Amino acid sequence: MLFLLLRSLFFTLSASIPLAAIADSTAFVNVNVISMKDDSVMSAQTVIVSGDRIVAMGDVEVTVLPKEAQIVDGTDRYLLPGLTEMHGHVTSTTANSLDSLLGLFVANGVTTVRGMLGRPAHLVLRQRIIDQDVLGPRLITSGPSFNGNSVDSPEQAVEMVKAQYEAGYDFLKIHPGLTRSEFMAIADAANELGIRFAGHVPSDVGVPDALGAGIGTIDHLDGYMQTLISPTEDPSGGLGGFFGLLLAAIADETRIREIAEATAAAGVWVVPTEALFEHTTNDVPPKDMGNWHEMKYVSQATVKQWIEQKRELLNDPAVTPELTARAIELRRKLILQLHRSGAGLLLGSDSPQRFNVPGFALHRELEYLVAAGLTPFDALRTGTVGPAEFFGVENEAGTISVGNVADLVLLDQNPLIDIKNIKRVHGTMLRGRWVDRPEIDAILARAERN
């Protein structure tokens, strides 16, 4: 049932788009196309969009343009599918802050966001975005999270699953604090109803049992560091600190392949959110991170809070530069082995959160995936083809193909040569609605003022 709901959410949009919201058709002329079907670049192409769909694509010399089409000059530019943020947060629903938050995603070529901490207002927002009453990426939303505070028994957890399913949420969010019996009750109820559950792995459960229970995604590589050690060697009492950071010194990396292959065999996808971990633990001074260019889109109070959070963690006597470097190394090896083992990796940054500004953080996440050993093409797949496969809509999304939904991003440079070129956004297309560079600049100007 979940796939049917998502297919409806993704692909029955054209009837709901106000005719005044988009031109009858848009043509990207003389553009280089990165279809994401493979790592080739098709040069000198014309791509035509009508409504919310790609309706034609071919050589610029022979492809006939529709009359009165909106023309976008693609010369020396690169067109690829829009990015999906698979671990984002819609932290506000007030008009100004929501405009800024969603606008930052759009400005960075993000056309879909999986919201990982939902609330009832998000159900309304999800539809308003579809109707284009609100400019923003398509929203796929969880309900309020299942955690140690919101759940007090397996029976109550099951009722909560049923309530969120009936309310129309797209999936269930798992947070820490659940007992094993509560988690398993959630899993059984969700599997019976056909609604996915995703997020953290409770310490009382562990990754192997979460895989067996059918969790949809494991986010943050939560629990993976714990799988690399023997329980008798764990000095932390089973907690391990920030996503297992305190266990890095005793982790046995020879176990990485086993857990990666088990993840692939279970068909469970992983959203590493490496940007969150590295931004929190790496050796970049927090004050320097607070001066990153994208921090102007975050309140000074929030930036100050992020700086203090990082300082507090790094000032812990148990946290040394050697330990954090080892933890980052192990996580990167986990990411690469998961990829090599055939486990599905999905792009997500956990923003807004600890130096992760919406949209901008997703570009940094791509850089971290490449630093872990993925090619730029394989890194881009985690935010394009991968999400489409995860949602079961790979025949209509995730690639540039005639008939596919027109969620696109136009870049000024080739990201297959250098993944940092993903930052060179010339414009974003949301379900056929073209947002050009001047409009993006206006969006960013409003976000900076807010």
Predicted pLDDT at 235: 59
- Looking at residue 97, its pLDDT comes to 87
| 24 pLDDT tier (thresholds 50, 70, 90) | confident
Task: List CB contacts of 406: < 8 A, sequence separation 6 or more.
Answer: 26, 49, 51, 52, 53, 54, 429, 431, 432
Residue 319 DSSP one-character state: -
Is the pLDDT score of 82 beyond 60? yes
pLDDT tens profile 158-181: 999 999 999 999 999 999 999 999
Residue 234 confidence (pLDDT) above 60: yes
Break the chain into its structural domains and give their ranges: 10-81+402-449, 84-390
* pLDDT band at 5; cut points 50, 70, 90: very low
Write out pLDDT tens, residues 44-79: 999 999 999 999 999 999 999 999 899 999 999 999
Look at 89 and 7; give whichever has higher pLDDT: 89
User: Could you report the per-residue pLDDT of 312-325, keeping only the tens digit for each?
Assistant: 999 999 999 999 99
Confidence (pLDDT) at 284: 96
Evaluate if residue 22 carries a pLDDT over 50: no
Q: What is the pLDDT of residues 109-118, one digit of tens each?
A: 999 999 999 9
What does the block give as tokens for 447?
A: 């976000």
Which pLDDT score is estimated for 218?
Answer: 98
Fold of the domain built from segment(s) 84-390: TIM Barrel (3.20.20)
Whether the CB-CB separation of 216 and 268 falls below 8 Å is answered with yes
Reading phi first (left if > 0) and then psi (alpha if -120 to 50, else beta), residue 430 is in beta
CA distance 148 to 116: 17
Class of domain 10-81+402-449: mainly beta
Q: Report the pLDDT value the prediction gives residue 21, as an integer from 0 to 100.
A: 36
- Please tell me the predicted confidence (pLDDT) of residue 351: 95
Distances (CA, A) of 400 to 65, 76, 207, 235: 18, 18, 35, 50
Q: What is the mean pLDDT of the chain?
A: 93
pLDDT value, residue 236: 55
Across 13-22, 177-186, 275-284, 353-362, least confident range: 13-22
What is the pTM assigned to this prediction? Answer: 0.93
- Preceding omega of 376 cis (within 30 degrees of 0): no
pLDDT more than 90, % of the chain = 90
What's residue 238's pLDDT? 56
Q: What is the mean pLDDT of residues 359-373?
A: 98
